[in-house]
Structure 1
Amino acid sequence: MSFRFNFSSEELEPTENESNDSTAQSPIDKYDSLSSLFRFDKRPFVPPSELIPNNLNDILPSTLVAERVFFPTCEKSVLYKRHLSDVKFQLAQEDNLLETDYNGDTRILELTADSDIVQGVYEGGLKTWECAHDLVEFLSKNISNLDFEGKKILELGCGSSLPGIYILTTKNPFRIDFQDYNEQVLKLVTIPNILLNTLLCPKSEDFFNGTAEIDVPERPNLLDQVKKSRFFMGDWSGLTDIINLNSEQEKYDLIISSETIYNTDSLPKLYNVIKYSLKRPNGIALIAAKSIYFGVGGGVLPFRHLIEQDKVFGIKIFYNAEAHVKREILMLTFLDSFIQ
């Protein structure tokens, strides 16, 4: 199986150990074990759990404001997502509260006004990040090489869920599950976006000034569509216990994630979810990320170092050469079936 992302062969990263120059000096060279690579924050995190939607009355308003999402290198690929202003309007109306932070209850609306991310409280899921677009474009360019038919797929840190929804609407997977840190993100963004791209799919004539107001009818098949997926929320630590993967056959054929390696504290937890949730020997994980996240310390290098030290996965890396800030897609496959 071969993959390309509109890149020249010179832009492909060597496989997992070819790029390790033992003479190179790096800030991480001083660490001599995986456990010492990362510091763990002492603050509490939202524990993982499963969101089981039994009705949509407490999730969906009577109308959704949708916007089209275009992908420059894939002109035929168009997805729809809920407009952020519509999300904020619902939040203001319902006076929703986010999980308790360290000074009392904090409204998610106030958090998004001040910061993209508040570690352990809000992890940026309401915003659609650039690497989610990269991952959709990568998938669309390689769709003929990726066999999703009847497969189980998990999107970690899904947010607006564009990559997972692209697969959902393009192929016929057995099931796509979605995980985000915040319950509100799943309810306000992920689930509405799934419906906007399936049963509530807008028509081109519905759009005015870039948006369309879509009526949400009370139809049982809306809930039926949502129940085709499982939804998980909270921290990655302990997530595999909640998913309850008792056998290799119950694990995922593909795990996708974008913009989730920005914080070094959470890298081991993300990696462990991938490692213990991906089906052997042919499972694939695709991680889209910026090479470096300025100000927070995360990025591709520390994540690669963690993977290479563990010696479970091989890595193939694709670059988006046109990005202002270097962005990459990591393909992880088990070493005993490494894709050359």
Structure 2
Amino acid sequence: MSFRFNFSVLCFTSEELEPTENESTVQNPVDKYDSLNSLFQSDKQPFIPPSELVLNNLIDILPSTLIAERIFFSTCEQSVLYKRHLSDVKFQLAQEDNLLETNYNEGTRILELTADSDIVQGVYEGGLKTWECSHDLVEFLSKNIINLDFEGKKILELGCGSSLPGIYILTTKNPFRVDFQDYNKQVLKLVTIPNILLNTLLCPKTKDFFNGTTEIDVPEYSNLLDQVKKSRFFMGDWSGLTDIINLNSEQEKYDLILSSETIYNTDSLPKLYNVIKYSLKRPSGVAYPFFFIMHSYFT
């Protein structure tokens, strides 16, 4: 289904993801797009293995204040969402590096990468940046919110980054749980989790709270951690992710899976496909992966 001029959304139902006799063909449904790989060549690095980020406190995650900005959506003005400003994230990364005895660590590496490139495969997957497709997915959800039943449902956002689509559902339709996955641990700690708290406990859901950028005090309340513990957080590569999530039954699987702007190399498409395939509840589960399409290369 075409959503905008240069963005597309796929809707996978769990019935369409049933195993077939020729599994190898199913696992790579985009072979015809292999020529796109040449546009994104980079030095390949070993992928970070998947794991779960378990939080027992927020001391090492949240500073005393957060710089928040209001997100505006062109087609759903009634939606009120906030996110942490990128400059505030980078400031915390740099500040944490200065407090460490080592001269070179993950925070320093990510800061260098964001200065030179949006993405370096296997090292940094672009989660600090809020990509345009996440706005598109929020707008898609808001347009179809009447027809989408999220009440009491389990939802997973893959490659969440700023996590705007997952947070939109979390704050709009009272789901049972929304879980989040991103490649980099630092993205979950410094972007995803602060954004969840900004939209659930720290910023009131009123249009007139602020319209630009403002500084938000972070109180030392236990309910902040309680809010975060309502979700699970996963990091690392998609390969083996379903083993970490540990979905032993259909009931434990997800009713809805979201993903926006997570594919820039077709090598990753089989991984994304398989996570969706083995994590989606049957027969009612639905997945909405949004991604950028370079039309001139898909003819």
- TM interval, shorter chain, is 0.7 to 0.9
Report deviation, 1:205: 6.2
Which blocks of at least 5 consecutive residues in structure 1 are unaligned?
Answer: 17-31, 98-102, 303-340
How many residue pairs get matched? 271
Partner of 1:154: 156
Question: With structure 1 as the length reference, what TM-score do the two structures score?
Answer: 0.72
Q: Is the 8 A contact 1:4 1:141 kept in 2?
A: no
Partner of 1:168: 170
Q: Is the 8 A contact 1:206 1:212 kept in 2?
A: no
| Structure 1 residues 239 and 110, CA gap change in structure 2 (3 angstroms) | same
Report deviation, 1:265: 1.2
Q: Deviations over 1:99-148 (max 9, x none)?
A: xxxx9865211110010000000000000001100100000011110000
Q: 1:69 aligns with which of 49, 52, 71?
A: 71
Within a 5 Å distance, the mapping from 1:284-323 to structure 2 comes to: 284-292=286-294
| Residues 1:238 and 2:243 are matched in the alignment | no
Q: Is the 8 A contact 2:27 2:273 kept in 1?
A: no
Higher relative CO (CA 8 A, sep ≥ 6), structure 1 or 2?
A: 2
Partner of 2:93: 91
Partner of 2:266: 264
| Structure 1 residues 43 and 107, CA gap change in structure 2 (3 angstroms) | closer
Distance, in Å, in 2 between the alignment partners of 1:123 and 1:194 is 20
Distance, in Å, in 1 between the alignment partners of 2:164 and 2:217 is 21
Which moves more between the two structures, 221-230 or 72-81? 72-81
| Structure 1 residues 108 and 140, CA gap change in structure 2 (3 angstroms) | same
Which blocks of at least 5 consecutive residues in structure 2 are unaligned?
Answer: 14-24, 38-42
Distance, in Å, in 2 between the alignment partners of 1:104 and 1:223 is 26
Distance, in Å, in 2 between the alignment partners of 1:232 and 1:180 is 7
Report deviation, 1:43: 3.3
Within a 5 Å distance, the mapping from 1:194-233 to structure 2 comes to: 194-202=196-204, 207=210, 210-233=212-235
Report deviation, 1:207: 3.8
What is the letter of the counterpart of residue 57 of structure 1? I
Q: 2:60 aligns with which of 58, 65, 80?
A: 58
Q: Deviations over 1:138-178 (max 9, x none)?
A: 00011110000110000000000000000000001000000
Q: Which has the higher helix share?
A: 2
Partner of 1:248: 250
Question: CA RMSD for the aligned pairs?
Answer: 3.3
**Identical residues among aligned pairs (%):** 80
